[in-house]
Amino acid sequence: MTARPVHLGSLSELAARYLDGINAWNDPILQAEAERRLAENDVTAAMIAIKRARTERRPFTILEQALLQRAEDQVRRGVQPPALFKPIHKSGQRLHQTVLSLADDGEGHLDVTLRDPDHLDGVVVHHEVITRSGHDGLPNLAIAPYRMVDIRLNGILRLHAADDVPVSVYAGRPNYQVAAWDSADFRVWDVAEAYDADPITPSHVAAATASAAFANGVADVKFSFEGLTVSQAVDFMRRVRESVDRRDDQHLSTQFNLNRPLRNDRVPHGSDDKSVAIINQATDIARLAIAMTRAGGWDRVTIDSSSATIPSVPLIDLLGFAGLVSWVDEAHAAGIETYISGGMSSEHIELATCSGVDGVGIGYWIHHYDPVSRSVGPLDGDKVKQAIRVRNDAEASARGCAARLLARLHAESPGVQPGPDWGISHAELLRAVSLCDEEGLAPLVARARAIGFV
């Protein structure tokens, strides 16, 4: 009998009995599969080496360097990282209620974030490409700032992240079709017109993009909906949700810019009103974003304040702290995770943590900055550690604990009220958090800590 390939791994009794019975061990399909699994095993071994070196805070050995080089080459050829990855656990159920999402185009994470275990405490490695430069390398404000990431570089980030830290992707705005060259109606379409003409292509391309990232073991993929009407955005979400390949602990995130008006064309049930409302107030856009995300069946809602200026106006300045607390609580009551970004620095990390928001996107501030050329440089490891320290200090305060308590209440059971022995209602707790009433919050937090609720 022909020898069975040693790299096939485990087979079910049924499959092994069938292949034995027909003596198929030299079949080209099995030989190709053995080669693929051999390459996957190299990548798995390299991931273990990465974890050991990072945990032991040492450089790679010569053997580990050779193994890592082989594994990265395999990933660049399409071999997927190992299946085990770290998800972004749900609100109220994480060690840190507010996680810090560190944005970089990839190389900075390899050189800085993923080199030091002190950079990974309550952090998400966010893979995001932001540039307004054209093919000539010169800035061009007519170009959309967000680009799709290199999916192979994303695989290498996942290799280095192992199961120590979640990796997320910002895929930017979907690609929309334009009129055919031989069309009598060939002209420049806006986004809404292009989506009306063909919603299938952008939805399926987005689903394929997200599926590729999820296959790498990415925990979350985010898309922008800029240019779509409200009903189109909800339709897009539903189409992508039905077409994407992902696990239950891999999330889809929406992203809405509070500086960009929304065209609300959704018709109330039973109404004949076909009018379109222009929503341009930041608070109204933020609340509508929750409703849209829920209607589309996605998991996380992102609001941001990004703009053509560097840095952007901080998002918290647009909503106000009390407005942010209210928005987070409303989203959590609807079972939606929350994420904010735009112009964030250390002071905003503290406020965000005390609001109970699930994620804070930090990009510009954690990079080196050249004030002469006004250019953003590589990631700054000291700033990463400062951000983590500020978040940890804030969540240990009475205000931070109370914000976590609010999130925990929604996580335990949406709409649940604090226990009768706490002497406070959900509305009173929400108001105390919004007003930063540390004196009023202290006894409540002490009781919650005593019973292990926070």
Structure confidence by residue, pLDDT tens digits, 254-301: 999 999 999 999 866 555 566 789 999 999 999 999 999 999 999 999
Which ranges constitute the DSSP H helices of 186-311? 191-197, 200-215, 230-243, 282-296
d(CA 405, CA 55): 32
pTM of structure: 0.91
The rounded distance, in Å, linking the Cα atoms of 64 and 50 is 8
Read off the tokens for 369: 């900055």
Q: How far is CA 124 from the centre of its chain?
A: 8
Domain coordinates of the chain in residue numbers? Answer: 13-76, 99-395, 408-450
For domain 99-395, say whether CATH 3.50.50.60 is its number. no
E strand intervals along 117-224: 123-127, 129-130, 146-147, 167-172, 220-224
> To the nearest 10°, the Cα dihedral for 203, 208, 210, 213?
-170
- pLDDT values of the chain reduced to their tens digit, one per residue, 454 residues: 456 666 778 888 999 899 989 988 889 999 899 899 999 999 999 999 999 999 999 999 999 999 999 999 999 999 999 999 999 999 988 999 999 999 999 999 999 999 999 999 999 999 998 765 666 666 666 666 677 899 999 999 999 999 999 999 999 988 888 766 665 565 677 899 999 999 999 999 999 999 999 999 999 999 999 999 999 999 999 999 999 999 999 999 999 999 999 999 986 655 556 678 999 999 999 999 999 999 999 999 999 988 766 667 888 999 999 999 999 999 999 999 999 998 888 999 999 999 999 999 998 899 987 766 667 788 999 999 999 999 999 999 989 999 998 898 887 765 555 655 566 778 888 888 999 877 778 887 787 777 676 6
CB 235 within 8 A of CB 200: no
338 three-class SS: strand
CB 56 within 8 A of CB 34: no
